[in-house]
C-alpha cells in the first residue's frame, strides 16, 4: 500500500465507529511507510525483483543488474513519478512495480514484424482495464474504470513508457487527462512510449486533456490498427531537444528530432478545437498507412522554434488530411502530399489560415492525389504557394486567397528528392532535348498536372520548368541493410512520376494578374550537389519564363475570366471563351504569336508555340 492519501467509502455507521476505522487505516498506512527499507545493489550483483516492492531509498551501482522474472516487467516510481531504473541514488516513496508483460500489435511500417514489449500506466484491452499489466502507482488522482479515465495525471522521465494504451474491441473515454513525459523513444512508428496509443478496433474519445512531451522520436499520440480516435478541446505539445547529427528526412529539407503525432494502418483521427504544437520535423504525421483519414476542425497547428523545419501534416499513401477552419503556423511545409503511387489527398477549407516561412503545400510522388483549397481559406507564404515536384496531382482552388512572398503561385519543377538513404542530389548539367513525338498540347490524366482556379482574384505567376534531365541526378546507397530509395533510377515504380510534365490550368470566373508560362529553373550559383549539409537548397530554384521543350502549358479561360499578362509568357495551348478578356497591364501592349505568326487575341482555341509578348 502507499502512504499517499486515499479516499475510502465507509458504510452507514455511527460517527464514532467510522472515525475509529479511518484512524486505523491511517495508522496502518503510516506503519507500512515506516517499515519501508533502503536497499543497495552493488556492482556485479543481480537483484531479481519477484514482487512489487516499496523502498524508502535505493542505490544502484554501475554494473549492477535489476531484472524481472520471465514474463514480467519492472517499472520504478519515485514519489509517483515514473523513473528509469539505472545507476544512481534515489530517495523518497520508491515503488518498483512488477507487472505482467504485454506486447502491442505491430503496426505502421513495422506491420507484420516482431512485436515490441510495452509498459503503460493504463492498459485497456477488449473493453477491460487490465490491472495486472498496468502501473497504477504512476496514475495520480482521478478515477480509472473499464470505460473511462477521468481527472488522471501521469508524470514520468523514463524512455519508452506509455501513458494509456487502448487495444482490441474497446470503447473508451478519457476526460481531463494530464500527461507530462520526458525521455526518448526507440520506435515512434509503432507508438512505443506514446502518451496515448490506440490499436485494434478501439474507439477512443479524449476530452479537455493535455499531453506534454520533451522527447526524441517519441509521439504524444499514436493511432493505429482500425482505431477511431476523437480529440475535443485538447492540447498536444512535443518539445524537440537538440541531438547532434540527427537528420530526419533530410531529403525534404527537414530538421528537428521528433513529430507530435503518428497515424498509420487503417486508423482515423478527429481533432476538434485542439492545439497541436511542436518544434521538430513534423506536427501531424502519417507513416505506414494502408488507408488513413485525419480531420482537423477549429484547431491550431504550430511548428515553430529556432531549430524547427518540417511539416504541419503529411498525407502519404492512401490518405486524406482536412484542415477545416484551422490556423496553421509552420516553418517549412504546412501540408505535404507525397503519395508513393497512392492517392494522397488534402483539403484546406472553411476559412483556414495558413502562415508559412517557406511553401504552402508541397506535392511529390503523387499519382492522382487531389488538393482542394476553398471557402475563403488563405495561404500566406514566404516562397511559392504550391510546390509540385514532377508528379501527377489535381489542384482545385476555389474562392481562396493566395499570397506568395516570392510572387509564384505554382512552382512546378523537377523532383529533387534524393530518397531516404545516404544519397545526394546532383544538379543536372546541360540542356533539355525535345522528346520525339511528345504532344505538348494535351495533358494525360494519369501522368500530368491539372489545376482549376475559380471564383477569385489571383496575383502571381504559374511556371512549369520540368525537364527530362533527371536520369543521372540521384545518387543513392543502402542504409542499415535496407535497399536504397532512389527518386530517378530507371525501372522504379515511381519512375513515371518523375521528370517532364504537361500543365493544364482552367480558370473560371477568375481575375488573374501574372505570368503563366513554360519556364527554366536554376539553383543558386555554386550549388552543384545537395546533401545533408546544404539540404535547404532542395526546392529552392528560381524560375523564369522560357519557351517549352518538353513541358507543355495548356490554359483555358471561361467567359467570366480576365488575364492580365504581367510578362512575356510561353504556352502550348490556349482556349479563350467568348467574353473572356486577355490584356496587358496599364500602359503596356500585348501581342500574341502562334508558331511565329502574329495572331489576334480573340475567342477560340490556339495550339502550338504560343507567345504572349508584353511590351
Percent of the chain with pLDDT strictly greater than 90: 77
Same-domain pairing of 231 and 190:
yes
What are 277's three cell numbers? 504544437
Average pLDDT over residues 314-320: 94
Decide: helix, strand or coil at residue 192: coil
Q: Is residue 127 part of a domain?
A: yes
Alpha-carbon distances of 115 from 82, 254, 273, 291, rounded to whole Å = 23, 29, 34, 22
Q: Is residue 427 part of a domain?
A: no
Q: What was the pLDDT predicted at 474?
A: 57
Average pLDDT over residues 581-590: 96
Question: Length of the chain, please?
Answer: 615
> For the stretch 36-58, what's the b/e string if a residue is b when 16 or more beta carbons lie within 10 angstroms of its beta carbon?
beebebeeeeebebeeebbbbeb
Same-domain pairing of 303 and 245:
yes
> How big, in percent rounded to 5, are the helix, strand and coil portions of the chain?
5, 50, 45
Confirm if 343 and 367 have CB atoms less than 8 A apart. Answer: yes
Same-domain pairing of 45 and 153:
no
The CA-CA-CA angle for residues 160, 166, 170, to 5°, reads 170
Q: Please determine, for residue 498, whether its predicted confidence score (pLDDT) is greater than 70.
A: no
Same-domain pairing of 192 and 85:
no
Cα–Cα distance measured from residue 285 to residue 295, given in angstroms and rounded to the nearest whole number: 13
Those residues whose C-beta lies under 8 Å from the C-beta of residue 549, and which sit 6 or more positions away, are: 432, 433, 434, 467, 518
Q: What is the DSSP letter of 301?
A: E
What are 366's three cell numbers? 503523387
Mode of pairing for the β-strands spanning 474-475 and 424-426: antiparallel
Q: Is residue 288 part of a domain?
A: yes
Same-domain pairing of 190 and 297:
yes
Same-domain pairing of 46 and 21:
no
Confirm if 187 and 205 have CB atoms less than 8 A apart. Answer: no
Q: What was the pLDDT predicted at 17?
A: 35
Q: Is residue 450 part of a domain?
A: no
Q: Please determine, for residue 478, whether its predicted confidence score (pLDDT) is greater than 50.
A: no
Q: What was the pLDDT predicted at 523?
A: 95
Average pLDDT over all residues of the chain: 89
Of 32-36, 304-308, 399-403, 530-534, which gets the smallest average pLDDT? 32-36
What are 149's three cell numbers? 479515465
Closest CA to 4 of 145, 144, 137, 156: 137
What are 256's three cell numbers? 528537428
Domain of residue 234: give its range.
Answer: 120-308
Confirm if 547 and 609 have CB atoms less than 8 A apart. Answer: yes
The CA-CA-CA angle for residues 422, 426, 431, to 5°, reads 160
Average pLDDT over residues 490-510: 72
Same-domain pairing of 43 and 21:
no
Same-domain pairing of 232 and 215:
yes
Q: Please determine, for residue 489, whether its predicted confidence score (pLDDT) is greater than 70.
A: no
Q: What is the pTM of this model?
A: 0.90
HEC per residue, 508-558 = EEEEEEECEEEEEEECCCCCCEECHHHHHHCCCCEEEECCCCCCCEEEEEC
Q: Is residue 158 part of a domain?
A: yes
Torsion region of 17: left, alpha or beta (phi above 0 gives left; psi -120 to 50 gives alpha)? alpha
Cα–Cα distance measured from residue 175 to residue 177, given in angstroms and rounded to the nearest whole number: 6
Give the bridge partners for 124, in sequence order: 129, 166
Q: Is residue 336 part of a domain?
A: no
Same-domain pairing of 47 and 10:
no
Q: Report CA 350 to chain centroid distance, whole Å.
A: 21
H-run or E-run covering 582:
strand 581-583
Confirm if 350 and 379 have CB atoms less than 8 A apart. Answer: no
Cα–Cα distance measured from residue 464 to residue 29, given in angstroms and rounded to the nearest whole number: 75
What are 471's three cell numbers? 536520369
Decide: helix, strand or coil at residue 42: coil
Q: What was the pLDDT predicted at 26?
A: 36
Q: How many domains does the chain have?
A: 3
Of 142-156, 202-216, 242-256, which gets the smallest average pLDDT? 242-256
pLDDT tens, 591-608?
999 999 999 999 999 999
Same-domain pairing of 88 and 192:
no
Same-domain pairing of 69 and 130:
no
Q: What was the pLDDT predicted at 473?
A: 58
Confirm if 356 and 330 have CB atoms less than 8 A apart. Answer: yes
pLDDT tens, 369-421?
999 999 999 999 999 999 999 999 999 999 999 999 999 999 999 998 877 66
Torsion region of 208: left, alpha or beta (phi above 0 gives left; psi -120 to 50 gives alpha)? left
Q: What was the pLDDT predicted at 420?
A: 66
Give the bridge partners for 179, in sequence order: 154, 211
pLDDT tens, 7-65?
323 333 334 333 333 333 333 333 333 447 999 999 999 999 999 999 999 999 999 99
Q: Please determine, for residue 4, whether its predicted confidence score (pLDDT) is greater than 90.
A: no
Confirm if 331 and 275 have CB atoms less than 8 A apart. Answer: no
Alpha-carbon distances of 584 from 107, 193, 511, 548, 587, rounded to whole Å = 57, 60, 13, 22, 8
What is the full DSSP assignment across 199-231?
-TT-EEEEES-EEEEE-SS--SEEE-TT-EEEE
Q: Please determine, for residue 244, whether its predicted confidence score (pLDDT) is greater than 80.
A: no
The phi, psi pair for 31, rounded to 5°, reads -65, -40
Same-domain pairing of 133 and 241:
yes
Closest CA to 607 of 578, 569, 574: 574
Q: Is residue 26 part of a domain?
A: yes
Q: Is residue 552 part of a domain?
A: no
Q: What was the pLDDT predicted at 470?
A: 65
The label of the residue with cell 503496426 reads: 107
> For the stretch 545-579, what's the b/e string if a residue is b when 16 or more beta carbons lie within 10 angstroms of its beta carbon?
bbebbbbbbbbbbbebbbbbbbbbbbbbbbbbbee
Amino acid at each position: 500500500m502507499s502512504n499517499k492519501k486515499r479516499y475510502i467509502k465507509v458504510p452507514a455507521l455511527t460517527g464514532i465507529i467510522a472515525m475509529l476505522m479511518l484512524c486505523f487505516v491511517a495508522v496502518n498506512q503510516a506503519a507500512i511507510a515506516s517499515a519501508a527499507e533502503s536497499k543497495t545493489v552493488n556492482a556485479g550483483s543481480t537483484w531479481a525483483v519477484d514482487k512489487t516492492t516499496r523502498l524508502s531509498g535505493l542505490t544502484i551501482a554501475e554494473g549492477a543488474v535489476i531484472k524481472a522474472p520471465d514474463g514480467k516487467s519492472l517499472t520504478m516510481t519515485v514519489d509517483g513519478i515514473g523513473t528509469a531504473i539505472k545507476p544512481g541514488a534515489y530517495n523518497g516513496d520508491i515503488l518498483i512495480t512488477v507487472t505482467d508483460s504485454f506486447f502491442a500489435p505491430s503496426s505502421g511500417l513495422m506491420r507484420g514484424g516482431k512485436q515490441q514489449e510495452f509498459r503503460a500506466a493504463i492498459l485497456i484491452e477488449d473493453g477491460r482495464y487490465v490491472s495486472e499489466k498496468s502501473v497504477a502507482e504512476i496514475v495520480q488522482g482521478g478515477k480509472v474504470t473499464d470505460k473511462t479515465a477521468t481527472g488522471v495525471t501521469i508524470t514520468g522521465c523514463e524512455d519508452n513508457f506509455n501513458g494509456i494504451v487502448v487495444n482490441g474491441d474497446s470503447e473508451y473515454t478519457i476526460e481531463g487527462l494530464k500527461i507530462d513525459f520526458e525521455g526518448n523513444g526507440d520506435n515512434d512508428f509503432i507508438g512505443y512510449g506514446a502518451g496515448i496509443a490506440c490499436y485494434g478496433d478501439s474507439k477512443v474519445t479524449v476530452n479537455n486533456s493535455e499531453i506534454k512531451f520533451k522527447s526524441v522520436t517519441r509521439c504524444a499520440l499514436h493511432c493505429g490498427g482500425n482505431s477511431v480516435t476523437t480529440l475535443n478541446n485538447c492540447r498536444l505539445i512535443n518539445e524537440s531537444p537538440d541531438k547532434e547529427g540527427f537528420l530526419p528526412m533530410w531529403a525534404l529539407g527537414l530538421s528537428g528530432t521528433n513529430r507530435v503525432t503518428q497515424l498509420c494502418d487503417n486508423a482515423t483521427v478527429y481533432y476538434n478545437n485542439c492545439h497541436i504544437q511542436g518544434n521538430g520535423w513534423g506536427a501531424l504525421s502519417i507513416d505506414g498507412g494502408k488507408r488513413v483519414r485525419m480531420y482537423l476542425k477549429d484547431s491550431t497547428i504550430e511548428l515553430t522554434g529556432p531549430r524547427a523545419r518540417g511539416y504541419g501534416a503529411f498525407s502519404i499513401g492512401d490518405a486524406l488530411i482536412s484542415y477545416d477552419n484551422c490556423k496553421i503556423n509552420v516553418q517549412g511545409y504546412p501540408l505535404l502530399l507525397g503519395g508513393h503511387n497512392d492517392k494522397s489527398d488534402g483539403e484546406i477549407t472553411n476559412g483556414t489560415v495558413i502562415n508559412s516561412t517557406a511553401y504552402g503545400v508541397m506535392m511529390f510522388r503523387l499519382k492522382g492525389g487531389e488538393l482542394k483549397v476553398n471557402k475563403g481559406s488563405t495561404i500566406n507564404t514566404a516562397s511559392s504557394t504550391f510546390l509540385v515536384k514532377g508528379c501527377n496531382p489535381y489542384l482545385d482552388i476555389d474562392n481562396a486567397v493566395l499570397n506568395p512572398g516570392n510572387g509564384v503561385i505554382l512552382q512546378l519543377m523537377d523532383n529533387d528528392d534524393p530518397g531516404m538513404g545516404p544519397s545526394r542530389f546532383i544538379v543536372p548539367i546541360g540542356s533539355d532535348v525535345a522528346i520525339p513525338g511528345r504532344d505538348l498540347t494535351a495533358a494525360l490524366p494519369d501522368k500530368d498536372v491539372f489545376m482549376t482556379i475559380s471564383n477569385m482574384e489571383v496575383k502571381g505567376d504559374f511556371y512549369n520548368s520540368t525537364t527530362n534531365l533527371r536520369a543521372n541526378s540521384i545518387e543513392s546507397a543502402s542504409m542499415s541493410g535496407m535497399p536504397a530509395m532512389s527518386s530517378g533510377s530507371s525501372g522504379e515504380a515511381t519512375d513515371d512520376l518523375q521528370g517532364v510534365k504537361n500543365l493544364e490550368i482552367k480558370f473560371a470566373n477568375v481575375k488573374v494578374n501574372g505570368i503563366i508560362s513554360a519556364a527554366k529553373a536554376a539553383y543558386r550559383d555554386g550549388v552543384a550537389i545537395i546533401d545533408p549539409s546544404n539540404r535547404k537548397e532542395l526546392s529552392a530554384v528560381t524560375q523564369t519564363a522560357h519557351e517549352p521543350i518538353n513541358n507543355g502549358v495548356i490554359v483555358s479561360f471561361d467567359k467570366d475570366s480576365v488575364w492580365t499578362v504581367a510578362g512575356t509568357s510561353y504556352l502550348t495551348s490556349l482556349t479563350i471563351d467568348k467574353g473572356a478578356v486577355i490584356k496587358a497591364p496599364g500602359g503596356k501592349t500585348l501581342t500574341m504569336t502562334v508558331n511565329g505568326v502574329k495572331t489576334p487575341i480573340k475567342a477560340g482555341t490556339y495550339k502550338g508555340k504560343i507567345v504572349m509578348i508584353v511590351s
